[in-house]
Amino acid sequence: MLLRILFMCSLVSSVVVSVDVKESVEACNFAAIYNFGDSNSDTGGISASFVPIPAPYGQGFFHKPSGRDSDGRLIIDFIAEKVNLPYLSAYLNSLGTDYRHGANFATGGSTIRKQNETIFQYGISPFSLDIQIIQFDQFKTRTEQLYKEAKTALERSKLPVPEEFSKALYTFDIGQNDLSVGFRKMSFDEMHAAMPDIVNQLASAVKNIYERGGRTFWIHNTSPVGCMPVNLFYKHNTPPGYLDKAGCVKDQNEMALFFNNQLKDRVIKLRTELPEAAITYVDVYAAKYGLISNAKNEGFDDPLKICCGYHVNDTHIWCGNLGSENGKDVFGAACEKPSAAISWDGVHYAEAANHWVANHILNGSFTDPPTPISHSCYRH
């Protein structure tokens, strides 16, 4: 009940802030969005680079696989809708791309720090954040050259206007896979010791964009990773204290919170280092954990059950894959009502949950400063 009261109070206060901002200042007119991240915001990068994400991914909103790890839209898609821009084409796409209003450098499995393993081992992308920033540098240089050389308006129509890179929104949603790798390879003490370097590398990426003219940054912290059902698939008879009150892995969520606290402190420092930047820290963790803790009252089913895939006892068949149980073929199909699901496949959120989270962060309810994304270009 206390969580519910505090949650509602935060919503009320955010509405007041949003109204005050809208009455006093015009909304930002973002020319484009450039996104950096992992599968939480990948709109086709990993599918373009390796094996395409299969059906039933994308079955809801797009009615076909769309390169997204969900049945429909991701938070980045709702961000685009909110600021009246098209959905982002993945930078790594070679066909059907339109970069006039931005590009997406995120790929599923990406980390902030480079990892010494291939995607075929544990699903870690080779496109770590530093590589994504290098790709952005190449993109900016190349498109500026092509724009200058273009002879007609039609040639320029799918290219960003060079002067508009400074008027773009730069979004970051990455770090979750750094924690996942850490849980596999390091002790908790080692993970704590690694956090400053991980966070500093994210800050370096922001600085790089700033040096190239970027001024508005929207930075998500990491999710409550201990609440991903995949972390509970093979956990039987867990000891007392292993799970928290929401049924999530307590130690993993505590590590996520440690990362988030380090990130927030680094963002505060960045604001003094980058005097012309407007940097918003987005507490996605709080929004997602609030939804998971109060799923039933928000109209959702059990947040720790998957919608897509097959999991019975110790048999798990990933969403969209064909497997076997007791000699019989079993397909990892979707549930009957994805609109009531929080977890789509055990790691990623269903569209309805993404939409809920987007609604609660884009109005400033879970941001520092408490400003809606429509006014995030203003420095506070």
Query: What confidence tens digit (pLDDT) does each residue in 225-260 have?
Result: 999 999 988 777 889 999 999 999 999 999 999 999
Stronger pLDDT, 272 or 9, i.e. the higher one = 272
Active site includes 94? no
Active site includes 302? no
Instruction: Write down the catalytic residue from 348, 355, 360, 375.
Output: 348
Active site includes 173? no
Report whether pLDDT(181) > 60.
yes
Instruction: Write down the catalytic residue from 39, 89, 110, 223.
Output: 39
Class in CATH terms, 2-6+30-298+351-365: alpha beta
- pLDDT confidence of 24, banded at 50, 70, 90? low
- Residues 31-73 pLDDT 10s: 999 999 999 999 999 999 999 999 999 999 999 999 999 999 9
Give percent of the chain with pLDDT exceeding 70: 94
Report whether pLDDT(9) > 60.
no
Q: What angle do CA 355, 6, 41 make, to 5 degrees?
A: 25
- pLDDT confidence of 7, banded at 50, 70, 90? very low
pTM: 0.93
Instruction: Write down the catalytic residue from 345, 355, 360, 365.
Output: 345
Domain boundaries, the chain: 2-6+30-298+351-365
